[in-house]
Structure 1
Amino acid sequence: MKKVILKSLTLTNWRGERSRTTQFNSETTTISGANGLGKSRHFDAFMWLLFGKDSQDRKDFNIKTVVDGKPLMKVECEVVGVLSVEGEIITLRRALVEEWVKPRGQVEQVFKGNKTECYYNDVPVNVSEYQKRVSEIIDDSLFKMVTNPLFFASMPWKTQREQLFLLAGTVTNEELASKHPTFEILLDNIRGKSLEDFKKELAVRKKRLKADLDEIQPRIDQTQRLMPESADFLALEKELANIEVEIAQTDKAISDITERIRQQYEAVQ
Protein backbone atom coordinates (compact mmCIF):
# COMPACT_ATOMS: atom_id res chain seq x y z
CA MET A 1 0.00 0.00 0.00
CA LYS A 2 1.35 3.40 -0.98
CA LYS A 3 1.90 6.21 1.50
CA VAL A 4 -0.56 8.96 0.58
CA ILE A 5 -0.71 12.34 2.34
CA LEU A 6 -3.40 14.90 1.61
CA LYS A 7 -1.68 18.29 1.39
CA SER A 8 -4.60 20.56 0.53
CA LEU A 9 -8.23 20.46 -0.55
CA THR A 10 -9.97 23.27 -2.44
CA LEU A 11 -13.75 23.47 -2.81
CA THR A 12 -15.28 25.88 -5.32
CA ASN A 13 -19.06 26.35 -5.52
CA TRP A 14 -19.36 22.96 -3.92
CA ARG A 15 -22.31 22.35 -1.59
CA GLY A 16 -22.38 25.84 -0.15
CA GLU A 17 -18.66 26.58 -0.29
CA ARG A 18 -18.02 29.42 -2.74
CA SER A 19 -14.27 29.06 -2.37
CA ARG A 20 -12.37 27.40 0.46
CA THR A 21 -8.91 25.89 0.63
CA THR A 22 -7.92 23.76 3.60
CA GLN A 23 -4.25 23.04 4.20
CA PHE A 24 -3.33 19.78 5.92
CA ASN A 25 -0.11 19.33 7.83
CA SER A 26 2.05 16.21 7.71
CA GLU A 27 0.71 14.83 10.99
CA THR A 28 -2.89 15.49 12.06
CA THR A 29 -5.35 18.15 10.95
CA THR A 30 -8.53 18.56 12.98
CA ILE A 31 -11.67 20.02 11.42
CA SER A 32 -14.18 20.94 14.11
CA GLY A 33 -17.23 23.11 14.48
CA ALA A 34 -20.96 23.16 15.06
CA ASN A 35 -23.39 21.21 12.91
CA GLY A 36 -23.86 22.57 9.41
CA LEU A 37 -20.50 24.32 9.17
CA GLY A 38 -19.01 21.90 6.63
CA LYS A 39 -17.12 19.19 8.50
CA SER A 40 -18.70 16.31 6.58
CA ARG A 41 -18.65 18.46 3.46
CA HIS A 42 -14.88 18.22 3.31
CA PHE A 43 -14.93 14.44 3.54
CA ASP A 44 -17.69 14.22 0.91
CA ALA A 45 -15.64 16.49 -1.34
CA PHE A 46 -12.53 14.33 -0.93
CA MET A 47 -14.53 11.17 -1.66
CA TRP A 48 -16.07 12.77 -4.75
CA LEU A 49 -12.66 13.95 -5.93
CA LEU A 50 -11.28 10.41 -5.70
CA PHE A 51 -14.22 8.17 -6.58
CA GLY A 52 -17.12 10.32 -7.79
CA LYS A 53 -19.25 9.40 -4.75
CA ASP A 54 -20.03 10.91 -1.37
CA SER A 55 -19.20 9.42 2.03
CA GLN A 56 -22.40 7.33 1.86
CA ASP A 57 -21.25 5.78 -1.42
CA ARG A 58 -23.87 7.65 -3.48
CA LYS A 59 -23.14 8.77 -7.02
CA ASP A 60 -26.32 10.82 -7.34
CA PHE A 61 -26.26 13.44 -4.60
CA ASN A 62 -26.62 17.21 -4.46
CA ILE A 63 -23.27 18.84 -5.30
CA LYS A 64 -24.33 22.32 -6.30
CA THR A 65 -24.77 25.21 -3.90
CA VAL A 66 -28.45 25.79 -3.14
CA VAL A 67 -29.77 29.36 -2.89
CA ASP A 68 -33.41 29.98 -1.90
CA GLY A 69 -34.18 26.31 -2.47
CA LYS A 70 -32.74 26.24 -5.99
CA PRO A 71 -29.29 25.13 -7.19
CA LEU A 72 -26.98 27.95 -8.21
CA MET A 73 -26.70 27.82 -12.00
CA LYS A 74 -24.03 28.86 -14.51
CA VAL A 75 -21.17 28.16 -12.13
CA GLU A 76 -18.66 25.33 -12.15
CA CYS A 77 -18.54 23.08 -9.10
CA GLU A 78 -15.11 21.63 -8.55
CA VAL A 79 -12.80 20.04 -6.02
CA VAL A 80 -9.02 20.16 -6.27
CA GLY A 81 -6.78 18.03 -4.10
CA VAL A 82 -3.01 18.06 -3.79
CA LEU A 83 -1.58 14.72 -2.67
CA SER A 84 1.84 13.45 -1.80
CA VAL A 85 2.11 9.88 -3.10
CA GLU A 86 5.32 8.21 -1.97
CA GLY A 87 6.86 11.70 -1.95
CA GLU A 88 5.58 12.65 -5.42
CA ILE A 89 3.20 15.62 -5.57
CA ILE A 90 0.07 14.88 -7.60
CA THR A 91 -2.79 17.30 -8.25
CA LEU A 92 -6.27 15.90 -8.83
CA ARG A 93 -9.22 17.93 -10.03
CA ARG A 94 -12.82 16.92 -10.67
CA ALA A 95 -15.40 19.44 -11.90
CA LEU A 96 -19.13 19.34 -12.58
CA VAL A 97 -19.64 21.50 -15.65
CA GLU A 98 -23.00 22.71 -16.92
CA GLU A 99 -23.83 22.41 -20.60
CA TRP A 100 -25.91 25.22 -22.09
CA VAL A 101 -27.15 25.31 -25.68
CA LYS A 102 -29.02 27.89 -27.73
CA PRO A 103 -31.71 26.17 -29.82
CA ARG A 104 -32.21 27.50 -33.31
CA GLY A 105 -34.67 30.36 -33.35
CA GLN A 106 -34.36 31.09 -29.62
CA VAL A 107 -32.57 33.97 -27.96
CA GLU A 108 -31.84 32.47 -24.57
CA GLN A 109 -29.69 29.47 -23.82
CA VAL A 110 -31.26 26.29 -22.46
CA PHE A 111 -29.70 24.09 -19.80
CA LYS A 112 -28.87 20.73 -21.38
CA GLY A 113 -27.33 18.91 -18.42
CA ASN A 114 -24.12 18.39 -16.47
CA LYS A 115 -20.91 16.67 -17.41
CA THR A 116 -17.89 15.66 -15.37
CA GLU A 117 -14.43 16.87 -16.27
CA CYS A 118 -11.30 15.39 -14.71
CA TYR A 119 -7.71 16.57 -14.60
CA TYR A 120 -4.59 14.74 -13.51
CA ASN A 121 -1.70 17.09 -12.80
CA ASP A 122 -3.68 19.78 -14.67
CA VAL A 123 -3.89 17.58 -17.78
CA PRO A 124 -7.48 16.80 -18.86
CA VAL A 125 -8.29 13.07 -18.97
CA ASN A 126 -11.55 11.20 -19.45
CA VAL A 127 -13.36 9.87 -16.40
CA SER A 128 -12.38 6.22 -16.92
CA GLU A 129 -8.69 7.09 -17.29
CA TYR A 130 -8.91 9.34 -14.25
CA GLN A 131 -10.45 6.57 -12.13
CA LYS A 132 -7.80 4.14 -13.34
CA ARG A 133 -5.03 6.49 -12.22
CA VAL A 134 -6.72 7.11 -8.86
CA SER A 135 -7.07 3.35 -8.29
CA GLU A 136 -3.32 3.04 -8.85
CA ILE A 137 -2.84 5.47 -5.97
CA ILE A 138 -5.36 3.94 -3.58
CA ASP A 139 -7.97 1.21 -3.85
CA ASP A 140 -11.58 2.30 -3.46
CA SER A 141 -12.53 -0.42 -0.95
CA LEU A 142 -9.31 -0.08 1.02
CA PHE A 143 -9.80 3.67 1.38
CA LYS A 144 -13.37 3.19 2.62
CA MET A 145 -12.32 0.54 5.13
CA VAL A 146 -9.65 2.85 6.50
CA THR A 147 -11.89 5.93 6.70
CA ASN A 148 -15.33 4.44 7.43
CA PRO A 149 -15.69 1.97 10.35
CA LEU A 150 -19.13 0.88 9.10
CA PHE A 151 -17.98 0.02 5.58
CA PHE A 152 -16.49 -3.40 6.40
CA ALA A 153 -19.74 -4.57 8.00
CA SER A 154 -21.64 -3.61 4.84
CA MET A 155 -19.41 -5.66 2.53
CA PRO A 156 -20.51 -9.11 1.22
CA TRP A 157 -19.17 -11.92 3.39
CA LYS A 158 -16.93 -13.27 0.64
CA THR A 159 -15.30 -9.86 0.24
CA GLN A 160 -14.89 -9.61 4.01
CA ARG A 161 -13.15 -12.99 4.01
CA GLU A 162 -10.82 -11.93 1.19
CA GLN A 163 -9.85 -8.78 3.06
CA LEU A 164 -9.24 -10.70 6.29
CA PHE A 165 -7.04 -13.18 4.44
CA LEU A 166 -5.05 -10.28 3.01
CA LEU A 167 -4.46 -9.01 6.54
CA ALA A 168 -3.91 -12.31 8.36
CA GLY A 169 -2.52 -14.47 5.57
CA THR A 170 -3.91 -17.73 4.22
CA VAL A 171 -3.33 -21.45 4.79
CA THR A 172 -2.49 -23.59 1.76
CA ASN A 173 -4.52 -26.68 0.93
CA GLU A 174 -1.47 -28.85 1.57
CA GLU A 175 -0.99 -27.36 5.05
CA LEU A 176 -4.63 -27.98 5.83
CA ALA A 177 -4.48 -31.59 4.61
CA SER A 178 -1.34 -32.29 6.64
CA LYS A 179 -3.34 -31.74 9.82
CA HIS A 180 -6.55 -33.34 8.55
CA PRO A 181 -5.74 -36.50 6.53
CA THR A 182 -9.37 -36.88 5.47
CA PHE A 183 -8.86 -33.83 3.25
CA GLU A 184 -6.22 -35.65 1.19
CA ILE A 185 -8.94 -37.33 -0.88
CA LEU A 186 -10.38 -33.93 -1.66
CA LEU A 187 -6.94 -32.66 -2.65
CA ASP A 188 -6.54 -35.57 -5.06
CA ASN A 189 -9.82 -34.59 -6.73
CA ILE A 190 -8.91 -30.94 -7.12
CA ARG A 191 -5.31 -31.48 -8.12
CA GLY A 192 -4.35 -29.01 -10.83
CA LYS A 193 -7.40 -26.79 -10.34
CA SER A 194 -8.64 -24.25 -7.85
CA LEU A 195 -11.22 -25.04 -5.21
CA GLU A 196 -13.62 -22.63 -6.90
CA ASP A 197 -13.26 -24.47 -10.22
CA PHE A 198 -13.87 -27.78 -8.46
CA LYS A 199 -17.00 -26.38 -6.82
CA LYS A 200 -18.23 -25.26 -10.24
CA GLU A 201 -17.62 -28.75 -11.64
CA LEU A 202 -19.59 -30.29 -8.78
CA ALA A 203 -22.40 -27.83 -9.38
CA VAL A 204 -22.54 -28.84 -13.06
CA ARG A 205 -22.57 -32.54 -12.15
CA LYS A 206 -25.29 -31.97 -9.59
CA LYS A 207 -27.37 -30.11 -12.13
CA ARG A 208 -26.93 -32.90 -14.68
CA LEU A 209 -27.87 -35.60 -12.15
CA LYS A 210 -30.93 -33.65 -11.11
CA ALA A 211 -31.97 -33.38 -14.76
CA ASP A 212 -31.52 -37.16 -15.14
CA LEU A 213 -33.62 -37.78 -12.03
CA ASP A 214 -36.34 -35.51 -13.36
CA GLU A 215 -36.46 -37.64 -16.53
CA ILE A 216 -36.48 -41.01 -14.73
CA GLN A 217 -39.89 -40.67 -13.10
CA PRO A 218 -41.77 -39.97 -16.37
CA ARG A 219 -40.03 -42.99 -17.89
CA ILE A 220 -41.15 -45.15 -14.95
CA ASP A 221 -44.71 -43.90 -15.31
CA GLN A 222 -44.71 -44.64 -19.04
CA THR A 223 -43.31 -48.14 -18.52
CA GLN A 224 -45.93 -48.91 -15.90
CA ARG A 225 -48.68 -47.77 -18.26
CA LEU A 226 -47.39 -50.13 -20.98
CA MET A 227 -47.15 -53.13 -18.66
CA PRO A 228 -50.11 -55.59 -18.71
CA GLU A 229 -52.28 -55.71 -15.68
CA SER A 230 -51.26 -58.20 -13.02
CA ALA A 231 -52.85 -61.62 -13.64
CA ASP A 232 -55.27 -63.20 -11.11
CA PHE A 233 -53.80 -66.71 -11.01
CA LEU A 234 -56.57 -68.21 -8.86
CA ALA A 235 -59.20 -67.03 -11.32
CA LEU A 236 -57.13 -68.33 -14.22
CA GLU A 237 -56.76 -71.74 -12.60
CA LYS A 238 -60.51 -71.92 -11.99
CA GLU A 239 -61.22 -70.89 -15.58
CA LEU A 240 -58.74 -73.52 -16.83
CA ALA A 241 -60.46 -76.22 -14.76
CA ASN A 242 -63.84 -75.27 -16.22
CA ILE A 243 -62.42 -75.41 -19.73
CA GLU A 244 -60.94 -78.84 -19.07
CA VAL A 245 -64.35 -80.04 -17.83
CA GLU A 246 -66.01 -78.68 -20.96
CA ILE A 247 -63.39 -80.40 -23.12
CA ALA A 248 -63.95 -83.69 -21.31
CA GLN A 249 -67.71 -83.37 -21.74
CA THR A 250 -67.27 -82.55 -25.42
CA ASP A 251 -64.95 -85.55 -25.90
CA LYS A 252 -67.51 -87.83 -24.20
CA ALA A 253 -70.33 -86.47 -26.37
CA ILE A 254 -68.27 -87.07 -29.51
CA SER A 255 -67.42 -90.57 -28.31
CA ASP A 256 -71.08 -91.38 -27.61
CA ILE A 257 -72.19 -90.14 -31.02
CA THR A 258 -69.44 -92.12 -32.71
CA GLU A 259 -70.49 -95.27 -30.85
CA ARG A 260 -74.16 -94.90 -31.87
CA ILE A 261 -73.20 -94.37 -35.49
CA ARG A 262 -71.06 -97.51 -35.38
CA GLN A 263 -73.90 -99.55 -33.86
CA GLN A 264 -76.38 -98.33 -36.47
CA TYR A 265 -73.96 -99.18 -39.23
CA GLU A 266 -73.44 -102.71 -37.93
CA ALA A 267 -77.20 -103.23 -37.61
CA VAL A 268 -77.70 -102.34 -41.25
CA GLN A 269 -75.02 -104.77 -42.31
Structure 2
Amino acid sequence: MFNPKSPRGRLSGKLAKKPQYVLVTENGEERTSNVTDAKIMKAVYNVDSNEYVYLMKCRPVILVRETECFALCFYSDLSFAAFFEVKGIIFRMVKSGVSYDEATDIMCDFFQTAQLPDMSGWVCEKRKAPTQHTESNLSVDGEDFRHFGCADVVAALENIIEGKSKWLLYDFTGENGGYINIHRHNKDGEAPEYKVEWVKWTEPTPIGYHAIVSDLTRLRRWLWDFAAEHKYPDPAPEWKSFDVKDTFQRLTFKFLNEEDKSDNTSDNNER
Protein backbone atom coordinates (compact mmCIF):
# COMPACT_ATOMS: atom_id res chain seq x y z
CA MET A 1 0.00 0.00 0.00
CA PHE A 2 1.16 3.53 -0.76
CA ASN A 3 2.61 5.17 2.34
CA PRO A 4 2.63 9.00 2.14
CA LYS A 5 4.82 9.14 5.26
CA SER A 6 7.63 7.28 3.54
CA PRO A 7 10.80 9.36 2.95
CA ARG A 8 10.15 8.83 -0.77
CA GLY A 9 6.92 10.81 -0.40
CA ARG A 10 8.37 13.75 1.49
CA LEU A 11 10.98 15.12 -0.89
CA SER A 12 10.52 18.74 -1.88
CA GLY A 13 12.24 21.40 -3.92
CA LYS A 14 14.16 20.62 -7.07
CA LEU A 15 14.42 16.90 -6.40
CA ALA A 16 10.66 16.60 -6.00
CA LYS A 17 9.78 18.26 -9.29
CA LYS A 18 11.68 17.60 -12.51
CA PRO A 19 9.83 18.92 -15.57
CA GLN A 20 12.02 16.95 -17.99
CA TYR A 21 10.16 13.77 -17.05
CA VAL A 22 6.70 12.52 -18.02
CA LEU A 23 4.79 10.01 -15.88
CA VAL A 24 2.20 7.90 -17.70
CA THR A 25 -0.53 5.99 -15.84
CA GLU A 26 -4.15 4.85 -16.25
CA ASN A 27 -3.24 2.45 -19.07
CA GLY A 28 -1.73 5.33 -21.05
CA GLU A 29 -4.72 7.63 -20.63
CA GLU A 30 -3.21 9.90 -17.97
CA ARG A 31 0.14 11.64 -18.20
CA THR A 32 1.80 14.52 -16.40
CA SER A 33 5.10 16.38 -16.54
CA ASN A 34 4.61 17.52 -12.93
CA VAL A 35 6.40 14.45 -11.57
CA THR A 36 7.37 13.86 -7.93
CA ASP A 37 8.69 10.90 -5.99
CA ALA A 38 5.34 10.68 -4.21
CA LYS A 39 3.44 10.45 -7.50
CA ILE A 40 5.79 7.76 -8.76
CA MET A 41 5.41 5.76 -5.55
CA LYS A 42 1.62 6.06 -5.56
CA ALA A 43 1.42 4.98 -9.21
CA VAL A 44 3.66 1.96 -8.61
CA TYR A 45 1.60 0.74 -5.66
CA ASN A 46 -1.57 1.20 -7.74
CA VAL A 47 -0.15 -0.57 -10.78
CA ASP A 48 -3.00 -3.12 -10.77
CA SER A 49 -5.46 -0.38 -11.74
CA ASN A 50 -2.95 1.47 -13.91
CA GLU A 51 -1.97 -1.65 -15.95
CA TYR A 52 1.49 -0.12 -16.19
CA VAL A 53 3.50 2.85 -14.93
CA TYR A 54 5.76 4.48 -17.51
CA LEU A 55 8.39 7.09 -16.61
CA MET A 56 9.96 8.79 -19.60
CA LYS A 57 12.96 11.10 -19.57
CA CYS A 58 12.48 13.70 -22.29
CA ARG A 59 16.23 14.14 -22.58
CA PRO A 60 17.46 10.54 -22.55
CA VAL A 61 20.41 9.27 -20.55
CA ILE A 62 23.30 8.90 -23.00
CA LEU A 63 25.30 5.79 -22.13
CA VAL A 64 27.75 5.66 -25.03
CA ARG A 65 27.69 7.14 -28.50
CA GLU A 66 24.31 6.52 -30.20
CA THR A 67 23.05 4.54 -27.19
CA GLU A 68 20.61 6.08 -24.75
CA CYS A 69 18.00 5.09 -22.18
CA PHE A 70 14.78 7.06 -22.43
CA ALA A 71 12.21 5.32 -20.19
CA LEU A 72 11.39 2.81 -17.47
CA CYS A 73 8.17 0.84 -17.15
CA PHE A 74 6.62 -1.26 -14.35
CA TYR A 75 3.79 -3.60 -15.36
CA SER A 76 0.90 -5.07 -13.39
CA ASP A 77 2.35 -8.58 -13.84
CA LEU A 78 5.33 -7.34 -11.75
CA SER A 79 7.72 -7.26 -14.69
CA PHE A 80 9.98 -4.25 -15.13
CA ALA A 81 11.54 -2.85 -18.31
CA ALA A 82 14.12 -0.26 -19.28
CA PHE A 83 13.87 1.14 -22.81
CA PHE A 84 16.91 1.97 -24.92
CA GLU A 85 17.53 3.36 -28.37
CA VAL A 86 20.66 2.14 -30.14
CA LYS A 87 21.30 3.69 -33.56
CA GLY A 88 17.57 4.12 -34.12
CA ILE A 89 16.62 0.63 -32.93
CA ILE A 90 14.49 0.33 -29.79
CA PHE A 91 15.40 -2.35 -27.25
CA ARG A 92 14.07 -3.11 -23.82
CA MET A 93 15.72 -4.93 -20.94
CA VAL A 94 13.14 -6.90 -18.94
CA LYS A 95 13.16 -8.39 -15.45
CA SER A 96 10.33 -10.46 -13.95
CA GLY A 97 9.16 -10.71 -10.34
CA VAL A 98 10.02 -7.16 -9.32
CA SER A 99 8.52 -6.06 -5.99
CA TYR A 100 6.72 -2.76 -5.46
CA ASP A 101 9.55 -1.49 -3.26
CA GLU A 102 12.21 -2.44 -5.80
CA ALA A 103 10.25 -0.85 -8.66
CA THR A 104 9.79 2.33 -6.61
CA ASP A 105 13.50 2.51 -5.80
CA ILE A 106 14.54 2.01 -9.43
CA MET A 107 12.11 4.62 -10.76
CA CYS A 108 12.89 7.20 -8.08
CA ASP A 109 16.64 6.79 -8.60
CA PHE A 110 16.09 7.30 -12.33
CA PHE A 111 13.95 10.36 -11.59
CA GLN A 112 16.29 11.93 -9.05
CA THR A 113 19.71 11.28 -10.58
CA ALA A 114 19.11 9.49 -13.92
CA GLN A 115 20.64 6.38 -12.32
CA LEU A 116 19.97 2.99 -13.92
CA PRO A 117 19.89 -0.36 -12.08
CA ASP A 118 22.28 -3.27 -12.54
CA MET A 119 20.72 -5.22 -15.42
CA SER A 120 22.82 -8.36 -15.21
CA GLY A 121 20.53 -11.29 -16.00
CA TRP A 122 17.77 -9.13 -17.52
CA VAL A 123 16.31 -10.29 -20.85
CA CYS A 124 16.95 -8.13 -23.93
CA GLU A 125 14.14 -7.70 -26.48
CA LYS A 126 14.21 -5.85 -29.78
CA ARG A 127 11.14 -3.66 -30.16
CA LYS A 128 11.18 -2.16 -33.66
CA ALA A 129 13.23 -1.65 -36.80
CA PRO A 130 15.53 1.33 -37.41
CA THR A 131 13.80 4.64 -38.00
CA GLN A 132 14.82 7.62 -40.03
CA HIS A 133 16.75 10.40 -38.35
CA THR A 134 14.34 12.86 -36.79
CA GLU A 135 14.80 16.57 -36.36
CA SER A 136 12.40 18.62 -34.26
CA ASN A 137 11.70 22.34 -34.25
CA LEU A 138 9.80 24.52 -31.82
CA SER A 139 8.64 28.06 -32.52
CA VAL A 140 6.74 30.24 -30.03
CA ASP A 141 5.36 33.61 -31.15
CA GLY A 142 7.90 33.58 -33.98
CA GLU A 143 10.91 32.78 -31.77
CA ASP A 144 12.71 29.58 -32.75
CA PHE A 145 14.29 27.25 -30.18
CA ARG A 146 17.25 25.11 -31.19
CA HIS A 147 17.77 23.08 -28.01
CA PHE A 148 14.67 21.84 -26.22
CA GLY A 149 12.91 18.76 -24.89
CA CYS A 150 9.28 17.70 -24.75
CA ALA A 151 9.00 19.40 -21.34
CA ASP A 152 9.78 22.71 -23.07
CA VAL A 153 7.00 22.05 -25.59
CA VAL A 154 4.59 21.41 -22.72
CA ALA A 155 5.77 24.58 -20.97
CA ALA A 156 5.13 26.56 -24.16
CA LEU A 157 1.52 25.36 -24.14
CA GLU A 158 1.12 26.36 -20.49
CA ASN A 159 2.34 29.86 -21.38
CA ILE A 160 -0.32 30.04 -24.09
CA ILE A 161 -3.00 28.91 -21.65
CA GLU A 162 -1.85 31.53 -19.13
CA GLY A 163 -1.91 34.23 -21.82
CA LYS A 164 1.85 34.78 -21.83
CA SER A 165 2.17 33.60 -25.45
CA LYS A 166 -0.18 33.49 -28.43
CA TRP A 167 0.87 30.47 -30.45
CA LEU A 168 3.31 27.61 -30.88
CA LEU A 169 4.40 25.46 -33.78
CA TYR A 170 6.08 22.11 -33.14
CA ASP A 171 7.23 19.98 -36.05
CA PHE A 172 9.52 17.05 -36.69
CA THR A 173 10.95 15.34 -39.76
CA GLY A 174 11.70 11.72 -40.54
CA GLU A 175 9.40 8.75 -40.24
CA ASN A 176 5.85 9.76 -39.28
CA GLY A 177 6.87 13.43 -39.62
CA GLY A 178 4.46 16.33 -39.35
CA TYR A 179 3.55 19.33 -37.23
CA ILE A 180 1.05 20.66 -34.72
CA ASN A 181 0.10 24.33 -34.39
CA ILE A 182 -1.81 25.76 -31.42
CA HIS A 183 -3.11 29.34 -31.46
CA ARG A 184 -4.96 31.10 -28.64
CA HIS A 185 -8.12 33.05 -29.47
CA ASN A 186 -9.35 35.50 -26.84
CA LYS A 187 -13.08 36.25 -26.69
CA ASP A 188 -14.55 39.24 -24.86
CA GLY A 189 -16.09 38.12 -21.59
CA GLU A 190 -15.63 34.44 -22.41
CA ALA A 191 -13.02 31.78 -21.82
CA PRO A 192 -10.40 31.65 -24.57
CA GLU A 193 -10.53 29.02 -27.29
CA TYR A 194 -7.63 27.34 -29.04
CA LYS A 195 -7.28 26.66 -32.73
CA VAL A 196 -5.38 23.43 -33.24
CA GLU A 197 -4.05 22.24 -36.57
CA TRP A 198 -1.98 19.18 -37.31
CA VAL A 199 -0.52 17.74 -40.49
CA LYS A 200 1.07 14.36 -41.12
CA TRP A 201 3.35 14.22 -44.15
CA THR A 202 2.10 10.94 -45.56
CA GLU A 203 2.91 9.91 -49.13
CA PRO A 204 1.65 10.65 -51.70
CA THR A 205 -0.99 12.84 -50.03
CA PRO A 206 -0.43 14.50 -46.63
CA ILE A 207 -3.21 14.42 -44.03
CA GLY A 208 -4.39 17.57 -42.27
CA TYR A 209 -6.98 18.36 -39.59
CA HIS A 210 -7.96 21.41 -37.57
CA ALA A 211 -10.37 22.18 -34.75
CA ILE A 212 -11.41 24.87 -32.29
CA VAL A 213 -11.25 23.50 -28.75
CA SER A 214 -11.66 24.75 -25.19
CA ASP A 215 -11.04 21.47 -23.33
CA LEU A 216 -7.61 22.03 -21.78
CA THR A 217 -7.26 18.43 -20.60
CA ARG A 218 -7.53 17.06 -24.12
CA LEU A 219 -5.37 19.88 -25.50
CA ARG A 220 -2.58 19.02 -23.08
CA ARG A 221 -2.89 15.30 -23.82
CA TRP A 222 -2.75 15.85 -27.58
CA LEU A 223 0.42 17.91 -27.31
CA TRP A 224 2.10 15.55 -24.81
CA ASP A 225 1.40 12.58 -27.06
CA PHE A 226 2.68 14.49 -30.06
CA ALA A 227 5.85 15.81 -28.40
CA ALA A 228 6.74 12.71 -26.39
CA GLU A 229 5.77 9.93 -28.79
CA HIS A 230 5.00 11.65 -32.12
CA LYS A 231 1.49 10.26 -31.77
CA TYR A 232 -1.23 12.12 -33.65
CA PRO A 233 -4.66 12.82 -32.12
CA ASP A 234 -7.26 10.11 -32.64
CA PRO A 235 -10.13 10.88 -35.05
CA ALA A 236 -12.99 12.72 -33.34
CA PRO A 237 -16.07 14.70 -34.47
CA GLU A 238 -14.44 18.05 -33.69
CA TRP A 239 -11.59 17.44 -36.15
CA LYS A 240 -12.24 18.80 -39.65
CA SER A 241 -10.00 17.58 -42.44
CA PHE A 242 -8.54 19.97 -45.00
CA ASP A 243 -6.64 19.68 -48.26
CA VAL A 244 -3.05 20.24 -47.18
CA LYS A 245 -1.57 20.66 -50.66
CA ASP A 246 -4.26 23.11 -51.73
CA THR A 247 -3.88 25.13 -48.54
CA PHE A 248 -0.13 25.42 -48.89
CA GLN A 249 -0.41 26.31 -52.58
CA ARG A 250 -2.83 29.13 -51.77
CA LEU A 251 -0.55 30.40 -49.02
CA THR A 252 2.40 30.32 -51.41
CA PHE A 253 0.50 32.21 -54.11
CA LYS A 254 -0.66 34.76 -51.53
CA PHE A 255 2.92 35.27 -50.36
CA LEU A 256 4.19 35.66 -53.94
CA ASN A 257 1.40 38.13 -54.81
CA GLU A 258 2.21 40.22 -51.75
CA GLU A 259 5.87 40.25 -52.75
CA ASP A 260 4.92 41.36 -56.29
CA LYS A 261 2.78 44.18 -54.89
CA SER A 262 5.62 45.24 -52.62
CA ASP A 263 8.08 45.26 -55.54
CA ASN A 264 5.67 47.29 -57.71
CA THR A 265 5.18 49.82 -54.93
CA SER A 266 8.93 50.21 -54.55
CA ASP A 267 9.35 50.70 -58.32
CA ASN A 268 6.63 53.38 -58.39
CA ASN A 269 8.19 55.21 -55.47
CA GLU A 270 11.56 55.23 -57.20
CA ARG A 271 9.98 56.76 -60.28
After TM superposition, the score normalised by the length of structure 1 is: 0.20
Higher helix share: 1
Structure with larger Rg = 1
Higher relative contact order (CA 8 A, sep 6+): 1
- The structure that is strand-richer by fraction is 2
Q: TM-score, normalised by structure 2?
A: 0.20
